[in-house]
């Protein structure tokens, strides 16, 4: 057997491309945050994680340019060796202060942050326990770890309690959850998670990739619930609210120091480029000085949930600016995506295995910089297209 046989037999994507309904890897001609251009077609962007709209903020842009002019385009080395700038250390200090943790460590991507943190902490004889709807980077971090992985039903604290009760009392245990779940837009029940973890002597890590800049006045899930200090590790990414690229893990100084010396994805990867690091520092300054952006993006999320439900759409249990439109059929999902795209609205179709078959959906997400007029138009188009495709009546 030729190991490349699987490549030749993978025809589903090529067939969708030929049919004109392939929705992935679409190149953008231009992007201005809330709107994008593809060829000569202009669309309202509701498929981005740019929650605070900072990718086009003058301070963020200027910081990236000035850092490039001073340091060049790359550090050309890992944090472990020659790739640590004073800029990285300043960012780590400011992040720790912002989220209420003792220390923080910056990685080159959010994905690498989860891979490196989980695989460094969870060793032989340890257990890592995850929510079944956790992000792929968490799952892959568990796969790299030398310990054993267990899973519990989504946001089901009784099931988590039983899973933890079944593990050896003297084993190391790390529970890892998303603060905001990236497909459903729902929030982890952190108060109950803290209670269950403490009952069984388990440590708790929260992936706040979609929570920082959105919940708790921008400071994440723990701040949202008034539980800052009750979470052992907090992870965040820079490719969303921070308008850049990279990630961080925050916790006690001794734990962060350990991760710094054992996270392979940190030690064996080039560090964050100067422009990206400076952009995050500038975004953090804007987040401190313009808290109204957090308020605005949540107001838009609340309005969209209400409007779409009123039209007859199923938006699940969303509580954030991530608002899924659950369709439950792959073909209808692609038809709806294509119709919205043609009408000038950019969404993200999500089908199995990323979600269960009954939850095929369009993932929509919103920015603080969306205007009321843009949101009005989005709702109008969803009403028109939904009736045409037959999703709503």
pLDDT digits (tens, 9 = 90+) for 48-62: 999 999 999 999 999
User: Which is nearest to 128 in space by CA: 150, 144, 112, 146?
Assistant: 150
Reported as type and span, the H/E element at residue 65 is: helix 58-71
User: In the β-sheet with 173-178, what is the strand arrangement from edge to edge?
Assistant: 103-107, 247-251, 233-237, 203-207, 173-178, 127-131, 148-152
Q: Where are the beta strands (DSSP E) in the chain?
A: 30-31, 35-38, 41-45, 103-107, 127-131, 148-152, 173-178, 203-207, 233-237, 247-251, 322-326, 345-346, 348-350, 361-365
* Secondary structure letter of residue 100 according to DSSP: T
Whether 57-289 and 5-31+291-389 are alike in CATH topology: the answer is: no
In angstroms, the CA 201 to CA 235 distance is 21
> What are the tokens at 384?
């028109």
Which residues on neighbouring strands pair with residue 363, listed in sequence order?
324, 348
- Residue 221 pLDDT class (50, 70, 90 cuts): very high
- Residue 12 pLDDT class (50, 70, 90 cuts): confident
Q: In terms of pTM, does the model score above 0.75? A: yes
The answer on pLDDT for 168 being more than 90 is: yes
Residue 25's pLDDT is 94
In angstroms, the CA 154 to CA 135 distance is 12
User: Which is nearest to 232 in space by CA: 201, 277, 211?
Assistant: 201
Residue 290's pLDDT is 97
Domain extent listing, the chain: 5-31+291-389, 57-289
pLDDT single digits (tens) 333-369: 999 999 999 999 999 999 988 888 889 999 999 999 9
In the numeric block, the tokens 């060049």 are attached to: 72
Report the CATH fold assignment for 57-289: 3.40.640
Q: Are 381 and 389 in contact (CB under 8 A)?
A: no
User: Which is nearest to 218 in space by CA: 189, 196, 185, 240?
Assistant: 240
Q: Where are the beta strands (DSSP E) in 242-352?
A: 247-251, 322-326, 345-346, 348-350
Instruction: For residue 43, give every residue at least 6 positions away whose Cβ sits within 8 Å of its Cβ, in sequence order, or none.
Output: 35, 36, 37, 341, 344, 345, 346
- Residue 31 pLDDT class (50, 70, 90 cuts): confident
What number does CATH give the domain 5-31+291-389? 3.90.1150.10
pLDDT single digits (tens) 287-339: 999 999 999 999 999 999 999 999 999 999 999 999 999 999 998 999 999 99
């Amino acid at each position: 057997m030729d190991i490349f046989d699987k490549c030749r037999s993978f025809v589903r994507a090529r067939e969708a491309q030929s049919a004109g309904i392939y929705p992935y890897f679409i190149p953008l001609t231009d992007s201005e945050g809330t709107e994008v251009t593809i060829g000569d077609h202009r669309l309202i962007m509701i498929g981005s994680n740019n929650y605070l709209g900072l990718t086009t903020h003058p301070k963020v842009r200027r910081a990236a340019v000035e850092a490039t002019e001073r340091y060049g385009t790359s550090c050309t080395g890992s944090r472990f060796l020659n790739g640590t700038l004073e800029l990285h250390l300043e960012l780590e200090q400011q992040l720790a202060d912002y989220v209420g943790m003792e220390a923080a460590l910056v990685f080159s991507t959010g994905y690498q942050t989860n891979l490196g943190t989980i695989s460094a902490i969870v060793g032989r004889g340890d257990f890592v326990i995850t929510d079944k709807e956790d992000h792929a980077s968490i799952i892959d971090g568990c796969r790299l770890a030398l310990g054993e992985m267990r899973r519990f039903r989504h946001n089901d604290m009784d099931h988590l309690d039983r899973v933890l009760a079944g593990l050896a009392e003297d084993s190391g245990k790390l529970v890892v959850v998303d603060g905001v779940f990236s497909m459903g837009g729902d929030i982890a029940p952190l108060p109950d998670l803290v209670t269950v973890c403490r009952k069984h002597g388990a440590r708790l890590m929260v992936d706040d990739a979609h929570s920082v800049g959105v919940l708790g006045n921008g400071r994440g899930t723990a701040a949202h619930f008034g539980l800052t200090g009750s979470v052992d590790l907090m992870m965040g990414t820079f490719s969303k609210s921070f308008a850049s690229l990279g990630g961080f893990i925050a916790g006690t100084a001794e734990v962060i120091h350990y991760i710094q010396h054992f996270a392979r994805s940190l030690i064996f990867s080039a560090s964050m480029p100067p422009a990206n690091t400076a952009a995050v520092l500038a975004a953090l300054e804007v987040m401190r000085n313009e808290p109204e952006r957090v308020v605005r993006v949540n107001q838009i999320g609340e309005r969209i949930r209400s409007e779409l439900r009123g039209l007859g759409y199923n938006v699940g249990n969303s509580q954030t600016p991530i608002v899924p439109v659950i369709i439950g059929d792959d073909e209808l999902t692609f038809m709806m995506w294509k119709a919205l795209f043609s009408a000038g609205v950019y969404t993200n179709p999500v089908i199995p295995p990323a979600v269960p078959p009954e939850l095929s959906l369009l993932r929509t997400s919103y920015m603080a910089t969306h205007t009321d007029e843009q949101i009005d138009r989005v709702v109008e188009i969803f009403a028109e297209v939904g009736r045409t495709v037959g999703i709503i009546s």
